[in-house]
Structure 1
Amino acid sequence: MHETMGCHLDPSGRGAHFAVWAPNAQAVSVIADWNGWDENALRLTARQDDSGIWEGFAPDAVQGQVYKFRIFSRERGYVVDKADPFAFYAEEAPRTGSRVWSLSGHAWQDDEWMATRGPRNALGAPMSIYEVHPGSWQRQDGEMLGWRELATRLAAYVKHMGFTHVELMPVTEHPFYGSWGYQTTGYFAPTSRYGTPQDFMAFVDHMHQNGIGVLLDWVPSHFPTDQHGLGFFDGTHLFEHEDPRQGFHPEWNSSIFNYGRNEVRSFLISSAEFWMERYHLDGLRVDAVASMLYLDYARKQGEWIPNVHGGRENLEAIQFLRDLNRAMYRAHPDTVTIAEESTAWPMVSRPTDMGGLGFGMKWNMGWMHDTLAYFAQDPLYRKYHQGQLTFSLVYAFDENFVLPLSHDEVVHGKGSLITKMPGDDWQKFANLRALFGLMWAHPGKKLLFMGCEFGQRREWTHDGELQWWATDLPEHAGLQRFVRQLNHVYRHEPALYELDFATDGFEWVGADDADASVIAFLRKPLAGGAPVLVVCNLTPQPRTDYKVGVPRAGVWRELLNSDAADYGGAGWGNLGQVGTDPLPAHGHAQSLNLTLPPLSTLILKPDAHV
């Protein structure tokens, strides 16, 4: 729809064509800079095809000028000024007008990335995602960085740290900065807070040239009620349901799209494809899918309307999500869609022709809740909670999971990750290193919110920047080095990513030593490759002569030891390698006699000569 709707500059650079969907309007004007905001200067004409589309041409419009649609509704004499739902660029908040803008002018230099991104985004590829809020990652003299400066700094940092992708919290235009982008008004406009659309193209281009994928957090689940936005657009509930039991979201004080309406589905699917097509993005993380799937989400009995079968499933939203994913993978098969879905809805990341929703991956919220709850326990009591650590493997292969430690876990009074960890300061950092080690070794792709990689102590806030000064302190710098090394090991060991979503890629070695709070497992690559052994000791007590069965005889090298002194640990370990003994353990004929450092994760691999 973005190809014909909205505002499109004439190729000559002067004059623009306008089109807006307002089927219940009796008249529509374009009010703008070039016509003195005179509602009579440019009256649009309704098409004669009952589409509800009004259109017209403004010969004096030029790039950068501000405009709105003044809509005269048939309903009760209602008149309202609306931003263009299809605008490519908007005024910077708190102003709410749309800008005449062409998306031409950027010369893309990411051909190599675009030609090879299919394998980089594939299910069998390593994916370590760094989640970023652009306005608060870094600042310059207190001011937010523009897209181009952010690109230079962020690409260098992400490349240094070894992450494969960045995921941007919503950058679709939003009037309230404090919504972090989750209250979207401009589904086709990157927010003007950080620059022009071409500046955002340059950002994505630069990331790609540095071998970094870019994912966008995208919000089709709800939209704000700001008067200039989509709500009550032509004096009727055009984009949203009229009945508040269907059309109003009590949790976010926002409107819910009417997914049963063809034009609304087309609007949203066009938006999704637009970001892939015009901005070369590599995928979408779709926000709040659970709230779309259930009619009774965040509602009490009597506050929702059952579907035609009397159930609580939102049948129109289910069909929309399937249509969305079919359209995305048909047009852009080398990208990925990821669902934030927090319930046990089946087959979220299974193909639509199997009855699934068609997403490529799904956030594993159960793993996140259980793992953080376990690590919040005093190690003295962890033996009573071993199941929280192991339960995720019961369902780990039911979906294509991403393991998320996202912004949601470090806001609204939840505290930072480092402050969730128990014990003294040394134990807090040791716990967090052990947690990250387990996360990177566990089946599933990885997502970590900015600042967590160096243990920011303050809860995240969108005002200001991350506490970068902390990286000058030894314990924070050590954690940061550990995450960098984690990414290095992860990306270079196929056993840690090739079979993330297959049972063949995982084998428990020991899951039941609750008294010692120790777990051990193997990760396996495709046939013929070497496995890796992962052992976690989640108490402060070092354990010597700990026997672990392994499938290969010979020397096993330590690829990673979270207790290494370089990361701020105590330096316990196995001097870099350990040989097997012909003593059976855990169902294997060979075993390793390991030293398990306190509060640690070890990753070992059989020597290449074995």
Structure 2
Amino acid sequence: MTTSQSQPNIHPKLYEIRGAQYSKQNKNTTFRVYAPNARCVLVILTSYGTEMSRLAMQKDDSDLWETVTDKILPGATYLYLVDDCNGKQMLRTDPVSFSVVYVPEVNQVHSIVHDHTVYQWSDQLWMQTRARTDPLRSPLSIYELQLKSWKNDVYHPLNYRQLAPELAIYCQQMGFTHVEIFGILDHAYKPARGYQVANYFAPYRDNGICDDLKFFVDHLHQNNIGIILDWILTHFQHYHQSDSFSISLHEFDGTNLYAGEASAWGTLYFDFNKEETCRFLFASALYFLDVMHMDGIRFDAVSTMIRRHSNDIPAAIAFLRNLNKTIHRCYPGVLCIAEETDGYRNLTKIMDFDLKWNIGWSCDARNLLRTPYNERSNHWQQKVLNILNVACKNEDKTILTLSHDDTDSGEHNSNSVLLSCVSHSSNDSEKFADLRNFFAWQTLAPSRGHMIHMGDELVQPMSWYQRFRQGRSSVDWSLVNTSSLHRKMQEYIADLNRLYQHHQQFWQNGEQDFRMIYEYGPNLIVAYHRGTYDNRRMAVIHNFSNYGYSSYDISLPSSDSDIRRIQNIVEIFNSDNPVYGGSGLFQNVEIEIINSFASGRSFRLTIPPLATLILEEYLS
């Protein structure tokens, strides 16, 4: 993993070389910053925004500017004063800042000297177990959230240390195995999603410093919850706060060390043909795995990183392949997940990703929700059968996601929230039944895991982003203080997650254990198997219509070699249960197994409207 210290600019762990490196043994701090074309660089030591002293830096043969001082202790703040190649002087935050702080006295963000040896980890058991575990053969139930707005509004954010115990308890109650956190990399504006990154090593300053985030990760690990970092490597914030101060990487020494063309988000694309881009971002990823103990990386906007203007970008593809292979070699058990929206074929194999988001499922499932019941049979093939039939044939392993983008209609409306998707329903009972069916479809359909975004577990009527922009918590926690259908939906998802975790038939072999049992488009009913363990096989039945059946025969495929082994079958989950807000009129106390010479074997059972049943088959 390491190369010679005499070549610091090709060292894969640049965070061990650059930035403010405090040595407890030598009781001094070494500052190093890469600015190959700068005329001069100074360290400006600050206190509450006021300059206290200046330290001259010298440039070495590898284009690093360096100085050593015994006058600086951890916690001190600093900036670089860069005299760039064009003769322009600008105060800059350190690109390899491990912590940053906002200084209101001068309306600036300053870097903080940090001592990484202070925090003592207590997650050794988690880390050892993770290294021995195949994450693709383990349960994966992800809760996606933005920490700065999950509990409080962004103007009164909680520290990472305050968030950790609350989130750990909530995930345990809800049955989530992992959280995926976005908005963690430091960014400029409070009321922003967090995708215009200013610093690729420092955590978002309003929630705390580096050791606060370590505590957060550590605490979740001690409660058996994994953490996936939403990492933005395709583009970066390039604008400067003023003519004399900047937190951006852009034009750090007066030249374009990182940037490519303008992006669609008002940022600049990274140029992966540039050596500095590759080594800098490579180090950022390893830093969060190595130093911060993250359990996975979700790579944002991979589609536009690897392909633009109908052309592949070979340098970006090579970067991803190299980084993912390094992660798998050096950090076993860590997940590499791609958000890729354009259907790049065989992406997981070509670039060594473990998983990719199944964007197609997300679009089709939500569109099916929007479709009136009497029109759904027209979309049966595309939105239901195709999802199932391609699951085992897909070149990529996928997770079924309902992300922050899916329910974000901007700050002025909530047209994309799940409740809006079922606005065609005549009453709340039907709406929530349809949504319970939707979540069961997401959790149980063949995949390698599933993810929902904060607030969707409550089916809140206002989008997270609209609430966020109005200066409120992104999650409407008042909904759980009543016995409403929103509260019952939260309980439903918790039970669904726990059932998913408890029965390894749903995750031990992922989509490979899927087998179709039955489908009939006119009735909008589909049934499938999801694997066998200890001679118990799981069968799942979805009814996407608003018509229920007091008696319905599900014929079993004659090609199923285990048909004759079925001794008994029991309903273990019913989304129409009254505890979840269902009618309770379609419960299967006993399921009859029918043997017919003409049609073979079948199940005779009750099927509720807009509902999911999970059956457990006992095999001989």
The answer to whether the superposition gives a TM-score over 0.5 is yes
Contact 2:186/2:197 (CA < 8 Å) preserved in 1?
A: yes
How many angstroms apart in 2 are the aligned matches of 1:222 and 1:2? 20
Preserved contact between residue 13 and residue 62 of structure 1 (Cα < 8 Å) = no
Shift of 1:104: 2.2
1:446 corresponds to which residue?
450
- Superposed displacement of residue 530, structure 1: 2.5
TM-score normalised over the length of structure 1: 0.90
Q: Distance in 2 between matches of 1:104 and 1:584?
A: 74
Post-superposition Cα deviations, 1:13-38, rounded to whole Å, max 9, x if no partner, equal 85421111111111111112179976
User: What is the CA–CA distance in structure 2 between the aligned matches of 1:432 and 1:13, rounded to whole Å?
Assistant: 61
For residue 248 of structure 1, the aligned residue among 256, 259, 262 is 262
Alpha-carbon distance, 1:567 to partner: 0.3
Q: Is the 8 A contact 1:269 1:327 kept in 2?
A: no
Query: How does 1:42-53 map onto structure 2 within 5 Å?
Result: 42-47=55-60, 49=61, 51-53=62-64
CA contact (8 A) 2:592 2:605 kept: no
Give the C-alpha shift of residue 501 in structure 1: 4.0
How far did residue 559 of structure 1 move? 1.7
User: Structure 1 residues 218 and 525, CA, compared in 2 at 3 Å: closer, same or farther?
Assistant: farther
Deviation at 1:531, TM superposition (A): 2.0
Alignment correspondent of 1:373: 367
CA 9–597 in structure 1, closer or farther in 2 if over 3 Å, else same: same
Aligned with 2:210 (options 197, 200, 219): 197
Q: Give the one of 595, 598, 604 matched to 2:609.
A: 598
What's 2:399 paired with?
402
Deviation at 1:79, TM superposition (A): 2.0
Which residue of 1 is the match for residue 6 of structure 2?
A: none
Asked if structure 2 preserves the Cα contact closer than 8 Å seen for 1:508 and 1:521, the reply is yes
State how far apart, in whole Å, the 2-side matches of 1:280 and 1:69 are.
29
Instruction: Identify if the C-alpha distance between structure 1 residues 24 and 331 changes in structure 2 by more than 3 Å, giving closer, same or farther.
Output: same
Aligned to 2:538: 532
* Partner of residue 329, structure 1: 328
The CA deviation at 1:177 is 2.6
Q: Deviations over 1:99-123 (max 9, x none)?
A: 1111222221111111112465511
Alignment partners' CA distance in 1, 2:49 and 2:100: 18
Of 37, 48, 67, which residue of structure 2 is paired with 1:24?
A: 37
- Is the contact made by 1:13 and 1:63 (CA closer than 8 Å) also made in structure 2? no
AA aligned to 1:377 is T
CA, structure 1 residues 541+584, in 2 after alignment: closer, same or farther (shift >3 Å)?
A: farther
> Which amino acid in structure 2 is aligned with residue 114 of structure 1?
M
Match of residue 459, structure 1, among 460, 463, 466:
463
1:92 deviates by 2.8
- Specify the SS of the correspondent of 1:113: helix
Cα distance in 2 between the residues matched to 1:91 and 1:368: 38
Query: Following superposition of structure 1 onto structure 2, how do residues 266-277 of structure 1 map, counting pairs within 5 Å?
Result: 266-277=279-290
What is the distance in 2 between the residues matched to 1:27 and 1:140? 42
1:486-528, Cα deviation, whole Å (9 max, x unpaired): 11111111211112142xx1111123x11111111111146x6
Q: How does 1:137-156 map to 2 (within 5 A)?
A: 137-139=150-152, 143-156=156-169
Q: Deviations over 1:175-221 (max 9, x none)?
A: 12333221111111111211121111111111111111111100111
Contact kept in structure 1, 2:594 and 2:602, CA below 8 Å: yes
Question: Offset at 1:458?
Answer: 1.0
User: 1 CA distance for matches of 2:483 and 2:156?
Assistant: 25
Tell me: CA distance 1:178–1:394, structure 2 relative to 1, closer, same or farther (3 Å): farther
User: Which of residues 85, 88, 94 is equivalent to 1:78?
Assistant: 88
Structure-1 residue corresponding to 2:271: 258
Q: 1:535-564: CA deviations, max 9, x gaps?
A: 111111112321113435332111211111
The letter of the residue matching 1:72 is D
Instruction: Select which of 170, 176, 193 maps to 1:163.
Output: 176
- The 5 A counterparts of 1:261-340 are 261-296=274-309, 312-340=311-339
Structure 1's consecutive aligned runs of 4 or more residues displaced over 6 angstroms after TM superposition are 34-40
The one-letter amino acid of 2:606's match is T
Q: Any conservation in 2 of the 1:217–1:284 contact (CA below 8 Å)?
A: yes
Helix, strand or coil for the counterpart of 2:161? helix
* 3-state SS of 1:42 partner: strand
Alignment partners' CA distance in 2, 1:569 and 1:579:
23
2:4 is aligned to none
- 2:552 counterpart of 1:546: yes
Are the counterparts in 2 of residues 233 and 239 from structure 1 also a CA contact under 8 Å? no
1:346 Cα deviation from its structure 2 partner: 1.6
TM-score (norm: length of structure 2)? 0.89
Alignment RMSD (CA, Å) = 2.2
| 2:406 match: secondary structure | helix
Cα distance, 1:277 vs structure 2 = 1.0
Matches of 2:405 and 2:497, distance apart in 1 = 22
2:429 is the alignment partner of 1:430: no
Partner residue, 1:386 = 380
Label 1:203 to 1:36 Cα distance change in 2 as closer, same or farther (>3 A): closer
Give the equivalent residue in structure 1 for 2:355: 361
User: CA offsets per residue over residues 374-433 of structure 1, 9 Å max, x none?
Assistant: 111111111111021221234323211011001111112443222212312111111110
Q: 1:507 to 1:288 in 2, by over 3 A?
A: same
Secondary structure of the equivalent of 1:393? helix
Equivalent residue letter for 1:547: D
TM-superposed CA distance for 1:41, in Å, is 2.9
Secondary structure, aligned partner of 1:279: coil
Note if contact 1:25-1:234 (Cα within 8 Å) is conserved in structure 2.
yes
Amino acid corresponding to residue 500 of structure 2 in structure 1: Y
Instruction: State the AA in 1 paired with 2:507.
Output: Y
Distance of aligned partners of 1:117 and 1:418 in 2 relative to their CA distance in 1, 3 Å threshold: farther
How far apart in 2 are the matches of 1:605 and 1:450? 31
List gaps (5 residues or longer) in structure 2.
Answer: 1-13, 241-245, 557-562
- Select the residue among 74, 98, 102 that pairs with 1:88: 98
CA shift for structure 1 position 607: 3.7
Matching residue of 1:305: none
- Partner in structure 1 of residue 127 of structure 2: 114
- How many Å separate the matches in 2 of 1:34 and 1:454? 45
> Secondary structure of 1:349's match?
helix
2:575 aligned with 1:567:
no
Asked if 1 retains the 8 angstrom alpha-carbon contact of 2:131 and 2:331, the reply is no
Give the aligned residue type for 1:171. I
Cα distance 1:537–1:314, how it changes in 2: closer, same or farther (>3 A)? Answer: same
8 A Cα contact 1:165 1:215, kept in partner: yes
**Residue in 2 aligned with 1:490?**
500
2 CA distance for matches of 1:357 and 1:292? 12
